[in-house]
Amino acid sequence: MKPARVAVAAAAVFFLPSLVHAHSPIEGIGRFYGGMLHPLLVPSHLLLLIGLGLWIGQQGLRHIEVGLLAFAAGLLPGLACAGLGYASPLPVPLLLAPAAMMGLWVAAGWKLPREVIGVVALAAGLLIGLDSLPDAGSPRELALTLLGTGLGAGFLLVHEVALTEFLQRPWQRIGVRILGSWVGAISIMVLALAVAPGAGDRLP
């Protein structure tokens, strides 16, 4: 529990300064904080992270270790490729399809082998990393942005997994499955929009 409290307090310290910038909180927020907010501001990333967090949190402690480590193992090289210019924006369906899949798994309450969790979490981390292309800037600015993005995505996922894993009462587990159905439903709807002729330009 103590490391989780430290993580929460640290994350709160990082988020609080953003309120001080009363004008243009995004422009003046700096590359680091902007990167940290990136997973929250990109809906496809947020959906994928929420689905992944709920799913990993449902699986049990031993599976959680694999999931979190695999996610980090995918995220870091993805961010590195994005920073070095070896990546390009990914099609939104590539992020939404796994989000829909994980939403359905969460809704169904399925527990899967650790190997599957590892592979899926690795892929999710890689996709988010590759799609987190920073704005042009100096190497220092790029590094700060990517560092912020990695920390933001990591904090969000760890929080979510910890909360989901702690929710052990029957009604709480049901609530998690309902949230999973929401993630699945939203992802399916927007996926349809992505493949519908002429409507794809409505995707964020």
Partner 1 sequence: MPRRMTAGIAPVRIAGSTAALLLVSAASVQAHTEGGIAGGIAGGFVSGLTHPVLGWDHVAAMVAVGLWGAFLQRPAIWLLPIIFPLVMAVGGALGVLGVPMPAVETGIAASAIVLDLMIAFAAKPPLAVAAVIVGVFAIFHGHAHGTELPEAANAMAYSIGFVVATGMLHMAGIAFGLLVRWPQGRIAVRAAGGVIAAAGMAFLTGIV
Residues that bind partner 1 (CB under 8 A): 1, 4-5, 8, 11-12, 15-16, 18-19, 21-26, 29, 37, 40-41, 43-44, 47, 104, 107, 155, 159-160, 162-163, 166-169, 172, 174, 177-178, 180-182, 184-186, 188-193, 195-196, 198-199, 202-204
138: number of Cβ within 10 Å: 9
Task: Give the nearest distance from C-beta 194 to partner 1 in angstroms.
Answer: 9
Q: Provide the residue type at 160 as one letter.
A: E
| Rg over CA atoms, the chain | 17
Nearer to partner 1, 86 or 202 (CB): 202
DSSP 109: T
Distance set, CA 65 to CA 29, 36, 76, 118 (Å): 33, 23, 17, 9
134 CB burial (10 A radius; 0-12, 13-18, 19+): buried
Task: Give the nearest distance from C-beta 115 to partner 1 in angstroms.
Answer: 27
Nearer to partner 1, 126 or 183 (CB): 183
Task: Give the nearest distance from C-beta 80 to partner 1 in angstroms.
Answer: 25
Nearer to partner 1, 81 or 167 (CB): 167
Q: Report yes or no: 177 and 57 within 8 Å, Cβ to Cβ.
A: no
Closest CA to 51 of 202, 200, 187: 187
Task: Give the nearest distance from C-beta 69 to partner 1 in angstroms.
Answer: 21
Nearer to partner 1, 84 or 111 (CB): 111
Nearer to partner 1, 32 or 155 (CB): 155
Task: Give the nearest distance from C-beta 171 to partner 1 in angstroms.
Answer: 8
Structure tokens at 26: 């995004």
